[in-house]
Amino acid sequence: MSYIKEIDRRRTFGVIAHPDAGKTTLTEKLLLFGGAIQEAGAVKSNKIKKGATSDFMEIERQRGISVATSVLAFNYKDKKINILDTPGHKDFAEDTFRTLTAVDSVIVVIDVAKGVEEQTEKLVEVCRMRNIPMIVFINKLDREGKDAFDLMDEVEQKLGLHVTPLSFPIGMGYDFKGIYNIWEKNVNLFSGDSRKNIEETIAISDLESQELVDVVGEKPAIKLREELELVHEVYPAFDREAYLNGNLQPVFFGSALNNFGVREMLDCFVEIAPSPTPKESDTRVVDPREAKFSGFVFKIHANMDPKHRDRIAFVKIVSGTFERNKPYMHVRLNKNLKFSSPNAFFAEKKEIVDISYAGDIVGLHDTGNFKIGDTLTEGENMQFKGIPSFSPEHFRYVNNADPLKSKQLEKGVDQLMDEGVAQLFTLEMNGRKVIGTVGALQYEVIQYRLEHEYGAKCTYENFPAYKACWVEATDPKNEEFAEFKRIKQKFLAKDKFGALVFLSDSEFSIQMTQSKFPSVKLHYVSEYK
């Protein structure tokens, strides 16, 4: 098969939602249909021994939430599907935002009872800014929830989307009978048995026929006919071009936990979803079908396998093919690197691959060469754009709780910071270490992982800072900069890469500093080139 055909059969997408909307459960069921797993695991695994495949970190299994993006792949109907299951919790949003730079389309999961929630709004806003094609999956239909039309109105108003349903529920909650698949024109009956791989599907071409009454009963049949008539009057017909441009979002209804309505969405998804899309670099737009390889690091994960202390850089291939043992240029370091064991993923299971294509995600074993946002090419000097880095909003001193394990603590903190979960600042005045995070829950994750992956214990104490600002001096030798450093020395620190950072204690302090020292520029992101 030619490499163009291989690229065209790739589908790389992210699953996003508010916590507890059923994102990870949906991912599990998609893997089940792809034959990648034999039995789906419930996420709330305190009662069930089998945990979700995509939640492979110990803390995720204990808390029942996803705290890191996981990469999963499987084949379905001659398409190679790459799923990135993202954390929903707002304290891990940074990981999710970065992951959205590596996907070509997105599935948004919405809880039928709760409707559109705050975190969903933020994530969809990012997708809309980038015109990422989105499919909406309204989940948990077997529970009592909002009316289907009310939900679609809410999606349109709160998320600013233009929707068109491609499946429609027959009843809801206790009266839930099944789904009418508008895309394939058939009825899918709900039995409530999550162990069944595929529910009973009955093709019904004519909704006026007696057959529909026989299948779902007279009252639900009449109601369904009325509702579908309304659907055709109110919502536009599906237009793939509009979907690919981010202007129209198909809606599917189902219950991921009961494995219901998932196949309908997956069948439609593999037909309509985009193959790998072009990506902008600082010099040009890169097309995935170009023969030469290019890709970028969107995530780093330490200790994928705690026994081996390995660090893996996740690379999204933007163009061409990535081959094992072939030298590629690390643009930031301007040096060639070879990779003898690039990995393809299935949650914690990895396998070495000889060749990967545009759209795929490969894991490269890393000894400290990579940081998030790095670009790899076959020699071209370019950097991919749009990989965000956020200014932390929470700051705490990190203290060693076990003096015998200071080396382990240093190594652990160093590696975890490389993952981008948090940022490390060393105060200029006394050399004390401060960890800055976007969300407070990150501190718990860091503490847990330091103890369980590195055998080091730490404690925290609050550091009174409001925002981290990276300092750019127009003339580092002038008196004004020296005066700035003298007055603000208590609040100055170096980040992990040696850049000067001002840890301001308030918004007022930032404004005063900028008016008093006009030649000193303050930035909320470290990449302020």
Structural contact between residues 359 and 12, judged by C-beta atoms closer than 8 angstroms: yes
Residue from 264, 253, 136, 250 nearest 198 by CA: 264
On whether residue 196 sits in a domain, the answer given is no
For residue 148, what pLDDT is reported? 86
For residue 202, what pLDDT is reported? 67
Q: What is the mean pLDDT of residues 18-38?
A: 72
Alpha helices in 258-370 (DSSP H): 262-272
Which residues are registered as beta bridge partners of 108? 16, 136
Rounded to the nearest integer, the mean pLDDT of the chain is 79
Residues 339 and 400 in one domain: no
Using pLDDT thresholds of 50, 70 and 90, give the confidence band for residue 2: confident
Residues 259 and 366 in one domain: no
On whether residue 184 sits in a domain, the answer given is no
Q: What is the mean pLDDT of residues 223-232?
A: 85
Residues 148 and 263 in one domain: yes
Residues 167 and 87 in one domain: yes
Identify the weakest region by mean pLDDT among 69-83, 200-214, 457-471, 508-522.
Answer: 200-214
Does residue 169 surpass a pLDDT of 70?
yes
From residue 137, give the alpha-carbon distance in Å to each of 178, 180, 245, 353: 15, 15, 19, 33
Residue from 53, 101, 57, 105 nearest 81 by CA: 105
Determine the residue type at 143.
R
Using pLDDT thresholds of 50, 70 and 90, give the confidence band for residue 54: very low
On whether residue 259 sits in a domain, the answer given is yes
For residue 60, what pLDDT is reported? 45
For residue 386, what pLDDT is reported? 67
Residue from 420, 414, 370, 415 nearest 390 by CA: 420
On whether residue 352 sits in a domain, the answer given is yes
Cα 89–Cα 93–Cα 98 angle in degrees, nearest 5: 145
Residues 267 and 293 in one domain: no
Phi, psi of 327 (to 5 degrees): -75, 135
Each residue's pLDDT tens digit, 124-146: 887 887 788 999 999 888 788 78
Q: DSSP E strands: which ranges in 279-341?
A: 279-280, 285-286, 294-302, 311-319, 321-323, 328-330, 335-337
Domain final residue, candidates 377, 410, 445: 377
On whether residue 179 sits in a domain, the answer given is no
Residues 298 and 399 in one domain: no
Q: DSSP E strands: which ranges in 382-453?
A: 394-400, 423-427, 433-437
Maximum Cα–Cα distance across the chain = 88
- Beta strand 492-494 with 500-504: parallel, antiparallel or unpaired? antiparallel
For residue 38, what pLDDT is reported? 47
Does residue 51 surpass a pLDDT of 60?
no
Q: What is the mean pLDDT of residues 494-504?
A: 86
On whether residue 214 sits in a domain, the answer given is no
For residue 68, what pLDDT is reported? 43
Q: What is the mean pLDDT of residues 435-441?
A: 79
Does residue 203 surpass a pLDDT of 70?
no
Q: What is the mean pLDDT of residues 212-228?
A: 79
Domain final residue, candidates 352, 377, 402: 377
Domain final residue, candidates 377, 411, 446: 377
For residue 377, what pLDDT is reported? 92
Using pLDDT thresholds of 50, 70 and 90, give the confidence band for residue 241: very high
Residues 52 and 120 in one domain: yes
On whether residue 252 sits in a domain, the answer given is yes
CATH code, 141: 3.40.50.300
Q: What is the mean pLDDT of residues 494-516?
A: 87
Secondary structure letter of residue 212 according to DSSP:
H
Q: What gap in Å lies between CA 107 and CA 250, rounded to an integer?
A: 10
CATH code, 472: 3.30.70.3280
Residues 19 and 155 in one domain: yes
Give the domain range for residue 30. 13-174+236-272
Domain count for the chain, please give it: 3
Residues 448 and 492 in one domain: yes
Using pLDDT thresholds of 50, 70 and 90, give the confidence band for residue 43: very low
Each residue's pLDDT tens digit, 359-414: 888 888 887 788 888 899 988 888 887 665 666 778 999 898 888 888 888 888 88
Alpha helices in 23-147 (DSSP H): 23-33, 58-63, 93-99, 118-129
Each residue's pLDDT tens digit, 295-327: 998 887 765 555 555 678 889 999 988 998 899
Which residues are registered as beta bridge partners of 311? 302
Of residues 496 and 407, which shows the higher confidence score? 407
For residue 220, what pLDDT is reported? 78
For residue 197, what pLDDT is reported? 44
Residues 352 and 405 in one domain: no
Residues 161 and 306 in one domain: no
Residues 516 and 446 in one domain: yes
Structural contact between residues 156 and 162, judged by C-beta atoms closer than 8 angstroms: yes
Q: What is the mean pLDDT of residues 9-38?
A: 76
For residue 448, what pLDDT is reported? 83
On whether residue 212 sits in a domain, the answer given is no
Structural contact between residues 418 and 301, judged by C-beta atoms closer than 8 angstroms: no
CATH code, 299: 2.40.30.10
Q: Which two tokens stand for residue 327?
A: 């030298």
Each residue's pLDDT tens digit, 244-262: 988 999 999 988 888 788 8
For residue 49, what pLDDT is reported? 34
